[in-house]
């Protein structure tokens, strides 16, 4: 018999929709302080570019275009600046100090198709060329998904015989071989869709489906690469896969030793504690057949189990991490007590962009591929000209001196 103190579906739906959406992102809700005012702002089809001149410049002279990554909704200049410049290493400040002009490129909808947002990148590149004083080549790249958007945009410009005048392409923990959101989290997002669709909408957005190596559209689906991912990869191949003219460099927030982040396959990562969610349990992905990754319960007494077969031990793989389980628990614990959704993240993070993906050197379909010591591989196996991996597995797109200074040293 159901507990009479438990909320109804309507009460829970009102609590969820009345709160901030559950979104898997590194981005905090609000910036601690506003970003500096840009020297110029470009309104583009599908986005906005905020231009900050380098030290001693009064016009665009040495442009570095840096594209935002994946999330839901429009880019936020204050949050983007804070992420890039207010942590352990002031990446934007150092770029400008060395005489580079920063063009921060945001998108009107970060979860839109990579192919659509690539049009915004192309427009920004041509705008930079037209406004640049002198003939210093551009550097173009991005964070996370932004590295894929800029990669495709540059390759398509070359395919269309348009001179992009770019000497260096760079990516910062971009999922060149695919990204990973645990099937357990995807299943939970879809399981609560009738109560609040926003989490499910993010997981089913065009960009998410293009980025994720494994995707489910409904909570009971079998994980496969989405057809939208296949179409994106076909489009990338159609323009040559990579731009050929610029030097291509990348950094990864994961290690090159093959050492994982310590998350054990099958470990319980999340559990529901409130009246409406007790019985929900999520687990780290395990290799093998018929592996339990989730048991779901929200309001009703049903407790369906989610099992997978043929997937690797990817949550613990070397790479940039995302606090997906922690984000879910924090969001549910912020709901009113009457919602009965109190939860606990026993393990907050999981691998999001495997190291081998960020440096484009191995697929991410098996344990052997994921845990390959990249340091021992021939770098020519990668589509990149040069890359650097972090000295520890750290949060996805964490801006560190180790990685940030390495990129800046190699810009034109």
Strands 350-354 and 268-272: what pairing? Answer: unpaired
Between CA 139 and CA 146 the distance in angstroms is 14
**What pLDDT is attached to residue 230?**
98
**What pLDDT is attached to residue 318?**
98
What does pTM read for this prediction? 0.96
pLDDT for residue 93 is more than 70: yes
Between CA 113 and CA 123 the distance in angstroms is 16
**What pLDDT is attached to residue 48?**
98
**What pLDDT is attached to residue 79?**
96
Between CA 163 and CA 181 the distance in angstroms is 37
Picking from 130, 164, 146, the residue whose alpha carbon sits closest to that of residue 80 is 146
Mean pLDDT over 98-120 rounds to: 98
pLDDT 10s digits, 312-354: 999 999 999 999 999 999 999 999 999 999 999 999 999 999 9
pLDDT for residue 26 is more than 90: no
The set of residues, in sequence order, having a beta carbon less than 8 Å from that of 359 and lying 6+ positions away, is: 176, 250, 252, 374, 382, 384, 387, 389
Picking from 9, 5, 15, the residue whose alpha carbon sits closest to that of residue 333 is 15
Picking from 312, 287, 321, 315, the residue whose alpha carbon sits closest to that of residue 392 is 321
Residue carrying the six token digits 């613990």? 316
Between CA 263 and CA 324 the distance in angstroms is 13
**What pLDDT is attached to residue 410?**
97
**What pLDDT is attached to residue 31?**
86
pLDDT for residue 150 is more than 90: yes
pLDDT for residue 143 is more than 70: yes
The set of residues, in sequence order, having a beta carbon less than 8 Å from that of 278 and lying 6+ positions away, is: 272, 297
Residues 174 and 251 sit within 8 Å (Cβ to Cβ): no
pLDDT for residue 1 is more than 50: no
pLDDT 10s digits, 157-202: 999 999 999 999 999 999 999 999 999 999 999 999 999 999 999 9
The set of residues, in sequence order, having a beta carbon less than 8 Å from that of 43 and lying 6+ positions away, is: none
Confidence of residue 4 (pLDDT cuts 50, 70, 90): low
Mean pLDDT over 352-376 rounds to: 98
Residues 207 and 178 sit within 8 Å (Cβ to Cβ): no
Residue carrying the six token digits 């690539």? 118
pLDDT 10s digits, 47-91: 999 999 999 999 999 999 999 999 999 999 999 999 999 999 999
The CA-based dihedral angle spanning residues 154, 159, 161, 167, taken in that order and rounded to the nearest 10 degrees: 30
pLDDT for residue 5 is more than 80: no
pLDDT for residue 226 is more than 50: yes
Beta-sheet strand order (sheet of 305-308)? 305-308, 291-295, 281-283, 268-272, 343-345
């Amino acid at each position: 018999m159901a507990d009479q103190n438990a909320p109804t579906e309507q009460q829970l739906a009102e609590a969820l929709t009345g709160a901030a959406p559950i979104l898997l992102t590194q981005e905090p809700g609000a910036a601690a302080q506003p970003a500096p005012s840009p020297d110029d702002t470009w309104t583009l089809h599908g986005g906005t570019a905020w231009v900050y001149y380098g030290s001693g410049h009064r016009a665009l002279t040495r442009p570095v275009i840096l594209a935002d990554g994946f999330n839901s909704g429009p880019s936020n200049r204050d949050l983007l600046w804070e992420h890039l410049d207010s942590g352990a290493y002031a990446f934007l400040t150092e770029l400008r100090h060395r005489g580079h002009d920063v063009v921060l490129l945001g998108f009107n909808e970060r979860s839109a198709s990579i192919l659509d947002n690539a049009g915004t990148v192309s427009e920004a590149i041509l705008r930079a060329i037209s406004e640049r004083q002198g003939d210093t080549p551009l550097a173009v790249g991005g964070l996370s998904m932004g590295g894929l958007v800029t990669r495709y945009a540059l390759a398509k410009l070359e395919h269309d015989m348009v001179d992009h005048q770019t000497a260096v392409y760079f990516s910062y923990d971009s999922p060149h071989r695919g990204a990973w959101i645990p099937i357990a989290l995807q299943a939970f997002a879809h399981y609560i869709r009738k109560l609040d669709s926003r989490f499910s909408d993010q997981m089913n957005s065009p960009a998410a489906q293009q980025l994720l190596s494994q995707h489910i559209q409904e909570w009971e689906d079998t994980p496969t690469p989405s057809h939208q991912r296949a179409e994106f990869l076909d489009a990338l191949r159609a323009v040559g896969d990579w731009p050929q003219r610029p030097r291509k460099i990348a950094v990864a927030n994961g290690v090159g030793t093959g050492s994982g982040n310590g998350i054990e396959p099958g470990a319980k990562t999340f559990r529901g504690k409130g009246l409406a969610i007790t019985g929900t349990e999520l687990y780290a992905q395990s290799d093998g057949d018929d592996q339990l990754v989730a048991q779901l319960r929200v309001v009703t007494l049903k407790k369906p189990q989610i099992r997978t077969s043929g997937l690797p031990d990817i949550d613990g793989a070397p790479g940039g991490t995302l606090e997906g389980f922690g984000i879910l628990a924090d969001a549910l614990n912020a709901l009113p007590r009457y919602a009965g959704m109190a939860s606990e993240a026993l393990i907050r993070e999981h691998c999001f962009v495997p190291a081998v993906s960020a440096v484009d050197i191995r697929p991410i379909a098996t344990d052997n591929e994921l845990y390959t010591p990249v340091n021992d591989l021939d770098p020519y196996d990668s589509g990149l000209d040069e890359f650097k991996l972090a000295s520890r597995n750290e949060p996805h797109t964490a801006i560190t001196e180790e990685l940030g200074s390495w990129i800046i040293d190699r810009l034109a």
